[in-house]
Structure 1
Amino acid sequence: MTPEALARQHIDHKLEQAGWIIQDMRALNLGAGLGVAVREYPTDTDPADYVLFVNREAVGVIEAKKDSAGATLTVAESQTARYANAALKWRQGNQALRFLFEATGQIIHFTDGADPAPRSREVFHFFRPETLAEWLAQPQTLRRRLTQPPLLLTTEKLWSSYARVKSHQVKGVSSQRQLTDLIALLRFALGLDAELKPFADEVDKRFQAWVFRHNAQRRTAFTDEQMTWLRLMKNHIASSCSICRDDFDYAELADHGGLQKAWQLFGKELDGLMDEMNWEMVA
Structure 2
Amino acid sequence: MTQPEQQARESIDRLLHAAGWLVQDAAAAHIHAARGVAIREFPLPGQGFADYLLYVDGKAAGVIEAKKEGVTLTGVETQSTKYTQGLPTGLPRWGNPLPFSYQSTGVETRFTNGLDPVPRSRSVFAFHTPELLAEWLGTTQNSVQEAPAGYMAEGATFLGKLQTMPPLVEDGLWPAQIKAIRNLEQSLKENRPRALIQMATGSGKTFTSISFIYRLIKFAGARRILFLVDRGNLADQTLKEFQQYVSPYNNFKFSEEYIVQRLQGNQIDTTARVCICTIQRMYSMLKGK
Q: What range describes the TM-score normalised by the shorter chain of this pair?
A: 0.5 to 0.7
Structure 1 residue 108, shift from structure 2 partner: 1.2
Q: Is the 8 A contact 1:43 1:89 kept in 2?
A: no
Q: Deviations over 1:223-268 (max 9, x none)?
A: xxxxxxxxxxxxxxxxxxxxxxxxxxxxxxxxxxxxxxxxxxxxxx
| Post-superposition offset of 1:184 | 11
1:173 maps to which of 179, 197, 205: 179
**Structure 1 vs Structure 2 CA RMSD:** 3.7
Q: In structure 2, what is the equivalent of residue 24 of structure 1?
A: 25
* Partner Cα separation in structure 1 for residue 35 and residue 128 of structure 2: 13
| Cα 1:170–1:64 shift into 2, 3 Å | same
1:146 Cα deviation after fit: 3.6
Looking at structure 1, the residues matched to 21 and 111 of structure 2 have their Cα atoms a distance apart, in angstroms, of 16
3-state DSSP of counterpart to 2:135: helix
Q: Which amino acid aligns with 1:51?
A: L
Q: Is the 8 A contact 2:60 2:92 kept in 1?
A: no
Residue pair 2:59, 2:92 contacting (<8 A) in 1 also:
no
Letter in 2 for 1:173: K
Match of 1:59 in 2: 61
SS at match of 2:183: coil
Conservation of the 8 A alpha-carbon contact between 2:58 and 2:92: no
> Deviation at 1:90?
6.0
CA shift for structure 1 position 171: 4.0
Q: Between Structure 1 and Structure 2, how many residues are aligned?
A: 188
The residue that corresponds to 1:220 in the other structure is none
Return 97-106 or 166-175, whichever deviates more: 166-175
Residue aligning to 2:86: 86
Q: Which has the higher strand share?
A: 2
- After superposition, residues 87-166 of structure 1 pair within 5 angstroms as 87-88=87-88, 91=91, 95-137=96-138, 139=151, 140=153, 141-142=156-157, 143-147=159-163, 152-153=164-165, 157-158=167-168, 161=169, 164-166=170-172
CA contact (8 A) 2:13 2:23 kept: yes
Measure, in 1, the Cα distance between the counterparts of 2:194 and 2:27: 49
**Which deviations, in whole Å up to 9, do the C-alpha atoms of 1:49-97 show, x marking residues without a partner?**
000001110000000111111xx21100000000001123761577211
Evaluate the alpha carbon distance shift between residue 181 and residue 110 of structure 1 in structure 2; reply closer, same or farther with a 3 A threshold. closer
Matches of 2:188 and 2:161, distance apart in 1: 18
Closer/same/farther in 2, CA of residues 170 and 16 from structure 1, 3 Å limit: farther
**Following TM superposition, where does structure 1 have runs of at least 4 consecutive aligned residues deviating by more than 6 angstroms?**
181-185
Percent of aligned positions with the same letter in both sequences? 35
Post-superposition shift, 1:172? 7.5
Taking the aligned partners of 2:119 and 2:188, their CA distance within structure 1 comes to: 20
**Residue deviations 1:87-127, cap 9 Å, x none?**
23761577211101111111111111121111111111111
Tell me the CA shift for residue 31 of structure 1. Answer: 1.8
**Structure 2 SS opposite 1:68:** coil
The CA distance in 2 between the partners of 1:7 and 1:106, in whole Å, is 8
Change beyond 3 A, Cα 1:128–1:174: closer
- Kept in 2, the 8 Å contact 1:169–1:195? The answer is no
- Residues 169, 196 of structure 1: 8 Å contact kept: no
Distance 1:90 1:196, change over 3 A: same
Question: Does the CA contact (< 8 Å) of 1:170 and 1:195 recur in 2?
Answer: no
Q: Which runs of 5+ in 1 are unaligned?
A: 186-192, 200-204, 211-274
Q: TM-score, normalising length from structure 2?
A: 0.56
CA contact (8 A) 2:181 2:208 kept: no
Give the helix-richer structure, 1 or 2. Answer: 1
Distance 1:55 1:181 in 2: 31
Question: Structure 1 184/60 Cα, relative in aligned 2: closer, same or farther at 3 Å?
Answer: closer
Matches of 2:60 and 2:120, distance apart in 1: 21
